């Protein structure tokens, strides 16, 4: 007997941590941390208790060691230069002294105190989030999966046996249902952003963020915000110069060498230098970028060169909409989107990983299959789904879901590998993960269940739920 269509959503609601939050009560501190980490706030309207505006260039890295909640954030107060430092998150401003942070040397580098409500009690710049969320608290809790609990460490796998016993059709159905929940959560995030900046800018922010995978999402997002405020049409090189200039990654010195490659850098430099003064306040510090440990294809300037192609074309969004409304077979789904997003050969960037790297022997595409899938399942299809849902167009919403469910599998990663170990003892049924949706469904199970349990799977209801589904 097939499992009910909404069984995953029902389980999800029943899991531990799926708390019903009252809008007038403070959220759990972990949820507030998650709000900060994922910047589910009105980013253009953040104001300190002392009245200065604050722009978050990077929220920092979640700290699992003693000390402040986030390390190495990058924030800009008013028109001051960006500041690098730590961020502490407390429900109440009074928590600073109550928790003795004021006398704890671990907290010396804190530059911003983020609180749920209240004015400054620390002498530090203080930011209250209560009236600055980008969606109602209950919706955010849903998006984070319960109370925003963070990942546990090593996990066992009590659901492994019940999943193994589940008939294949039901296993596929559960992963599909979980994947659709994930699609809807991503769409809700995009819709929340679209309410602030419009659908077009929300899409650009998503595209840039996906190009920042995975260490440079925040500076990329900031550049998308800047690009979204640009109204004049620019040619390709003008966009490449401007994005490179805004990024703060343009080399300080011109190359001495001659030749076409050096000439390109000179032209970038000249173009940017003519407008640099106008953008002086928005140039990102180099410290906003993480450059070490990146694959060559993920180098930020090469990603920006690709984004410049899209921006200069002037009709990317219209082409995406045309792609969505025309019929595409499953076999040509990914190729048809790749043809749309892959720019013509770039005289410089098809042949270089960075501005200074030697010319490659063979031209490399600016967009590869792995990033294409990431863009499709994390940004483009959720954006299209959100728009069709907002317009109450059931036919197109179903089309977005169909394309999402039939998209070929993406690149493997450490989270998926660990999840396969825990849920399938490293040996999932053959062909289970042929589609990106199955991978997305697996990630959603991890988020909804594994992340709310511990290494021993204590109190995790998933095994019982799977057993019940097989009866
Ligand atoms: S925590 Fe739950 S879902 Fe995760 S491996 Fe353990 S039993 Fe399975």
Cα 459 to averaged position of ligand 1 atoms, centre (Å): 9
Residue 152 is predicted with a pLDDT of 39
- The C-alpha torsion from 413 through 414 and 417 to 418, rounded to 10°, is -150
- Which residue in this structure is represented by tokens 């990914």? 334
Closest CA to 148 of 248, 230, 27, 292: 27
**Number of the ligand 1 atom closest to the C-alpha atom of 461:** 2
User: Which residues are CB-contacts of 53 (< 8 A; sequence separation ≥ 6)?
Assistant: 46, 47, 77, 78
Cα 186 to averaged position of ligand 1 atoms, centre (Å): 23
Residue with the smallest CA separation from ligand 1 atom 8 is 159
Cα 458 to averaged position of ligand 1 atoms, centre (Å): 9
Burial (CB count within 10 angstroms: exposed 0-12, middle 13-18, buried 19+), residue 131 = exposed
Residue with the smallest CA separation from ligand 1 atom 4 is 450
Ligand 1 pocket list (CB less than 6 A): 155-159, 422-423, 445, 449-450, 453, 457, 460, 462-463
Helix (H, G, I), strand (E, B) or coil at 71: strand
Task: Report yes or no: 36 and 87 within 8 Å, Cβ to Cβ.
Answer: yes
Burial (CB count within 10 angstroms: exposed 0-12, middle 13-18, buried 19+), residue 319 = middle
Determine the residue of 449, 455, 458, 464 to mutate for testing ligand 1's pocket, defined as the one with the most ligand atoms within 8 A of the Cβ atom.
449
Cα 156 to averaged position of ligand 1 atoms, centre (Å): 7
Listed as own residue / partner, the contacts of 368-372 with beta carbons closer than 8 Å and 24 or more positions apart are 368/297, 369/334, 369/338, 369/411, 370/410, 370/411, 371/210, 371/211, 371/213, 371/297, 372/334, 372/337, 372/338, 372/341
Residue 144 is predicted with a pLDDT of 79
Dist CA 251 CA 451 (whole Å): 42
Residue with the smallest CA separation from ligand 1 atom 1 is 450
Burial (CB count within 10 angstroms: exposed 0-12, middle 13-18, buried 19+), residue 29 = middle
Tokens encoding 302: 């090469």
Determine the residue of 165, 425, 463 to mutate for testing ligand 1's pocket, defined as the one with the most ligand atoms within 8 A of the Cβ atom.
463
Closest CA to 435 of 457, 460, 405: 405
> What are the backbone dihedrals phi and psi of residue 108, each rounded to the nearest 5 degrees, phi first?
-65, -30
Digit-by-digit pLDDT tens for the chain (471 residues) are: 567 788 888 888 777 666 566 666 788 888 999 999 889 999 999 999 999 999 999 898 888 677 999 988 989 999 999 999 999 999 999 999 988 999 998 999 999 999 999 887 778 999 999 999 999 988 888 887 655 544 433 345 899 999 999 999 999 999 999 999 999 999 999 999 999 999 999 999 999 999 998 889 999 999 999 999 899 999 999 999 999 999 999 987 776 777 778 899 999 999 999 999 999 999 999 999 998 878 888 899 999 999 999 999 999 999 999 999 999 999 999 999 999 999 999 999 999 999 989 999 999 999 999 999 999 999 999 999 999 999 999 999 999 999 999 999 999 987 898 889 889 988 899 999 999 999 999 999 999 998 887 666 788 999 999 998 876
Cα 319 to averaged position of ligand 1 atoms, centre (Å): 42
> What are the backbone dihedrals phi and psi of residue 363, each rounded to the nearest 5 degrees, phi first?
-65, 140
Residue 155 is predicted with a pLDDT of 44
The strand pairing partners of 41, in sequence order, are: 133
Determine the residue of 12, 153, 163, 453 to mutate for testing ligand 1's pocket, defined as the one with the most ligand atoms within 8 A of the Cβ atom.
453
Residue with the smallest CA separation from ligand 1 atom 5 is 157
Helix (H, G, I), strand (E, B) or coil at 229: coil
Handedness of CA 106, 112, 114, 118 (dihedral sign): positive
Task: Report yes or no: 433 and 442 within 8 Å, Cβ to Cβ.
Answer: yes
Closest CA to 419 of 159, 108, 239: 159
**Number of the ligand 1 atom closest to the C-alpha atom of 158:** 7
**Number of the ligand 1 atom closest to the C-alpha atom of 452:** 1
Cα 408 to averaged position of ligand 1 atoms, centre (Å): 26
Helix (H, G, I), strand (E, B) or coil at 345: coil
**Which stretches within 107-213 are classed as H helix?**
137-144, 160-165, 168-197, 199-211
Cα 461 to averaged position of ligand 1 atoms, centre (Å): 8
Dist CA 346 CA 339 (whole Å): 15
**Number of the ligand 1 atom closest to the C-alpha atom of 419:** 5
**Number of the ligand 1 atom closest to the C-alpha atom of 163:** 8
């Amino acid at each position: 007997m097939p499992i009910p269509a909404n069984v995953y959503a029902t389980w999800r609601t029943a899991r531990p941590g799926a708390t019903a939050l009252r809008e007038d009560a403070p959220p759990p501190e972990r949820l507030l941390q998650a709000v900060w980490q994922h910047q589910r706030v009105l980013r253009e309207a953040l104001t300190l208790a002392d009245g200065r505006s604050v722009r978050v260039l990077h929220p920092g890295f979640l700290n699992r060691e003693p000390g402040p909640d986030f390390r190495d954030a990058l924030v800009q107060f008013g028109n001051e230069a960006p500041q690098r430092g730590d961020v502490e998150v407390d429900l109440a401003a009074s928590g600073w002294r109550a928790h003795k942070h004021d006398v704890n040397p671990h907290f010396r580098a804190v530059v911003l105190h983020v609180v749920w409500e209240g004015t400054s009690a620390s002498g530090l710049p203080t930011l209250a989030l209560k009236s600055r969320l980008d969606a109602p608290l209950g919706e955010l809790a849903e998006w984070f999966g319960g109370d925003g609990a963070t990942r546990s460490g090593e996990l066992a796998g009590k659901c492994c046996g019940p999943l193994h016993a589940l008939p294949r059709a039901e296993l596929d159905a559960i992963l599909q249902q979980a994947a659709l929940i994930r699609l809807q959560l991503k769409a809700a995030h995009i819709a929340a952003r679209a309410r602030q900046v419009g659908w077009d800018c929300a899409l650009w922010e998503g595209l840039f963020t996906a190009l920042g995978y995975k260490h440079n999402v925040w500076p990329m997002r900031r550049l998308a915000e800047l690009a979204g405020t640009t109204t004049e049409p620019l040619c390709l090189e003008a966009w490449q110069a401007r994005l490179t200039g805004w990024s703060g990654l343009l080399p300080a010195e011109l190359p001495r060498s001659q030749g076409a490659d050096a000439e390109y850098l000179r032209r970038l430099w000249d173009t940017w230098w003519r407008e640099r003064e106008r953008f002086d306040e928005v140039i990102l510090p180099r410290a906003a970028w993480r450059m070490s440990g990146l694959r060559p294809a993920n180098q930020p300037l090469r990603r920006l060169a690709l984004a410049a192609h899209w921006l200069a074309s002037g009709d990317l969004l219209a082409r995406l909409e045309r792609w969505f409304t025309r019929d595409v077979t499953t076999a040509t789904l990914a190729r048809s989107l790749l043809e749309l997003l892959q720019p013509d050969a770039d005289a410089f960037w098809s042949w270089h990983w960075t501005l200074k790297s030697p010319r490659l022997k063979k031209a490399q595409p600016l967009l590869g299959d792995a990033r294409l899938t990431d863009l499709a399942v994390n940004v483009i299809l959720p954006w299209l789904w959100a728009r069709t849902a907002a317009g109450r167009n059931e036919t197109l919403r179903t089309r977005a879901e169909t394309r999402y469910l039939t998209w070929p599998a993406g690149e493997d990663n450490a989270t998926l590998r660990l999840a396969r170990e825990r849920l399938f003892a490293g040996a999932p049924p053959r062909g289970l993960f042929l589609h990106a949706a199955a991978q997305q469904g697996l990630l959603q199970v991890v988020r909804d269940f594994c992340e709310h349990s511990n290494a021993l799977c204590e109190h995790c209801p998933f095994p019982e739920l799977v057993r019940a589904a097989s009866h």
